[in-house]
């Protein structure tokens, strides 16, 4: 995305997600502006991925307080995840009972751009409810060759990325990823209970966060994370689930 075609985030826009403003509907119009900027980034990411043969569905978080977000807009998210066609394959193989689990977008591994009070985020996230993608990944990295590949993909990310489990104090820098530390992480990581996060956080005080150049950095990060997304996401070609005979 050329810098001139991206409308940069403004410093006050990060303040819209301060705890005392999250429930205030008076700020909905300003949060809508942030939402549209994020969508512009995600639309470009989706289009560029399609040119490379990668298909994603695009989803957005609400910019207004609503029962769905507990009437509190903690952050603004735009995320890209598996398509309806891919979900249908899962349902066909595993049946309607398990298939219902893949319906909500957050119940699938996804790539995301986000704005919150701290700054801007580029991330791959696995929600606790995306248990089948999480289990697929955890099973996969028990294979030594696959763990080696996982570490290679982490090290190939641009500078500034780390991997952690939400709520843990420690985050592992991806640039110096090691098999032993990754084994330890997956030993402690429990699908269905924890959220796994691969991310680059750009603080709001970093000039990049309010620069037009952020778009280029965000898109570069998205494309760099895509191989890790495909490594993780269950598919017929990437099937590491071990239940029901699968």
CA distances from residue 73 to 15, 19, 132 in whole angstroms, order as listed:
12, 9, 28
d(CA 162, CA 172): 5
Categorize the per-residue pLDDT at 2 as very low, low, confident or very high, splitting at 50, 70 and 90. low
pLDDT at 241 over 90: no
pLDDT bin (cut points 50, 70, 90) of residue 88 is confident
Per-residue pLDDT, 75: 97
- C-beta separation of 127 from 195 below 8 A: yes
* Domain-wise residue ranges, the chain: 3-232
Query: What Å distances lie between residue 49 and 35, 68, 102, 105, CA to CA?
Result: 21, 30, 22, 18
Q: Which of 81, 73, 76, 75 is nearest to 37 (CA)?
A: 76
**Nearest CA among 72, 1, 14, 3 for reference residue 202:** 14
Q: What is the dihedral of CA 59, 122, 48, 108, to 10 degrees?
A: -40
Cβ proximity of 154 and 140 under 8 Å: no
CA atoms within 13 A on the CB side of 51: 7
Q: Is the pLDDT of residue 120 over 80?
A: yes
Task: Say what the pTM is.
Answer: 0.93
Among 3.30.499.10, 3.40.50.300, 1.20.1250.20, 3.30.930.20, name the CATH number for the domain at 3-232: 3.30.930.20
Residue that is written with structure tokens 């030594």 in the block: 144
Q: Are 102 and 134 in contact (CB under 8 A)?
A: no
């Amino acid at each position: 995305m050329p810098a001139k075609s991206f409308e940069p985030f403004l410093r006050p826009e990060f303040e819209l997600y301060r705890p005392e403003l999250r429930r205030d509907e008076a700020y909905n119009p300003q949060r809508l502006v942030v939402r549209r900027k994020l969508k512009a980034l995600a639309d470009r990411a989706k289009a560029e991925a399609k040119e490379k043969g990668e298909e994603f569905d695009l989803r957005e978080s609400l910019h207004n307080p609503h029962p769905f977000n507990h009437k509190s807009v903690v952050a603004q998210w735009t995320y890209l995840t598996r398509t309806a066609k891919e979900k249908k394959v899962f349902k066909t193989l595993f049946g309607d009972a398990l298939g219902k689990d893949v319906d909500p977008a957050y119940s699938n591994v996804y790539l995301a751009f986000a704005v919150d009070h701290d700054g801007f985020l580029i991330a791959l996230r696995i929600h606790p409810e995306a248990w089948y993608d999480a289990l697929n990944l955890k099973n996969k990295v028990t294979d030594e060759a696959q763990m080696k590949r996982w570490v290679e993909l982490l090290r190939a990310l641009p500078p500034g990325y780390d991997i952690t489990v939400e709520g843990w104090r420690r985050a592992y820098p991806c640039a110096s990823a090691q098999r032993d530390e990754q084994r330890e992480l997956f030993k402690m990581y429990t699908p269905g209970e924890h959220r796994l996060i691969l991310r680059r956080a750009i603080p709001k005080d970093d000039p990049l966060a309010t620069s037009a150049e952020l778009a280029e950095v965000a898109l570069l990060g998205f494309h760099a994370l895509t191989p890790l997304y495909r490594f993780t996401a269950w598919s017929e070609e990437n099937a590491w689930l071990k239940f029901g005979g699968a």
